[in-house]
Amino acid sequence: MASGGKQTKIEDLAHEDLKAESTEREPTMEDQQTMFLTTDVTLKVEGKLFHLNKKRLSENSPVFKAMFESEFEEKHAEVIPLPGKKFKDFEMFLSSFYFPQLIRPITGKN
């Protein structure tokens, strides 16, 4: 890069807060498949864009499944805004199925 700056990857941003508490493990075949999904939908949360895969979202959320399989106007939208959603909350939601190994288990302490 000409400016000498460091490029930031989406997974770096998505898991910056979780790194200290995540456990190390070897990537699985599912991790590899997730990394190479085509992006066919863009969601906008607090002005930030997430380029995602409709099938993966539908498999993990009944709300997105209904959105993409029914005749909602968002089904064909180029960018789907998600008003009222918080970036960090949505990022954690996506991490739960795109990068589940980075999610802390729920315990009585948290």
In the prediction, which pLDDT does 108 show?
A: 74
Phi and psi at 80, nearest 5°, equal -110, 110
Residue-wise pLDDT for 69-81, tens only, equals: 988 888 888 899 9
85 — pLDDT class (breaks 50, 70, 90): very high
In the prediction, which pLDDT does 58 show?
A: 93
Under DSSP, the state recorded for 104 is P
In this prediction, what percent of the chain has a pLDDT beyond 90?
Answer: 35
In the prediction, which pLDDT does 24 show?
A: 53
What CATH superfamily classification does 36-98 receive?
Potassium Channel Kv1.1; Chain A (3.30.710.10)
Q: What is the mean pLDDT of residues 85-97?
A: 89
